[in-house]
Amino acid sequence: MMQQTNQRGIDIKLFGALFVLVGLLDLLIIEWFPHYALKLFGVMVAGPMAYVVKLHSPAAHFLIGYGFIFLRPWAWGLAMAYGGFGLISELMNQWEFGFHQLRTGFMVTTALFLCYVAWRRVLFADPLSPDTRLASSSHEVHL
């Protein structure tokens, strides 16, 4: 029984480790190329505030990675929302800046990843039912 519990969701936990690695790479790229203008929702973000805006990416990747590694219930929703954010942003970038194979590949792989995460949603479910979670843990003594 213990072995089954340890191996439960190993695929999602590996994706979590990859998200943490991508978050680290995002931070390095932001530090090494601070003048890179991020394309977000069809707009090029440049200037002094661009650094702060670019930090959303590693922050989201670190949070999703942590949530996937420890199978936190909130990680599923965050991953789905951030994936949708990425798909819409890249679609608008394609529209504004023209077709690009790399952006198209990103959109396809993101859509496939979201389908996979939706399929594995049961791993993120809270193991306790709401009634059990809210029930008192101490037993009352009736006289």
When divided into structural domains, the chain yields a total of: 1
Report residue 142 CA to chain centroid gap.
49
Structural contact between residues 58 and 30, judged by C-beta atoms closer than 8 angstroms: yes
For the segment 99-126, the average pLDDT, to the nearest whole number, is 90
State the distance between the two ends of the chain, measured CA to CA, in whole angstroms.
40
Structural contact between residues 26 and 64, judged by C-beta atoms closer than 8 angstroms: no
Residue 136 lies in a domain: no
User: What is the per-residue pLDDT for 68?
Assistant: 95
Buried b (16+ CB within 10 A) or exposed e, 22-54: bbeebbeebeeeeeeebbbeeeebeeeebeeeb
* pLDDT tier at 6, thresholds 50, 70, 90: very low
* pLDDT tier at 4, thresholds 50, 70, 90: very low
* pLDDT tier at 72, thresholds 50, 70, 90: very high
Residue 53 lies in a domain: yes
Residue 139 lies in a domain: no
Residue 143 lies in a domain: no
To the nearest 10 degrees (0 to 180), the angle between helices 101-119 and 73-97 is 160
Structural contact between residues 11 and 120, judged by C-beta atoms closer than 8 angstroms: yes
- Percent of the chain whose pLDDT exceeds 70: 83
11 CB-side CA count, 13 A? 8
Specify the higher pLDDT residue, 45 or 69. 69
Range(s) of the domain holding residue 92: 2-126
Residue 134: pLDDT above 80?
A: no
Q: What is the pLDDT of residues 8-64, one digit of tens each?
A: 889 999 999 999 999 999 999 999 988 888 888 988 888 888 888 889 999 999 999
Dihedral over Cα of 83, 89, 91, 97: its sign:
negative
The structure's pTM equals 0.78
User: What is the per-residue pLDDT for 62?
Assistant: 97
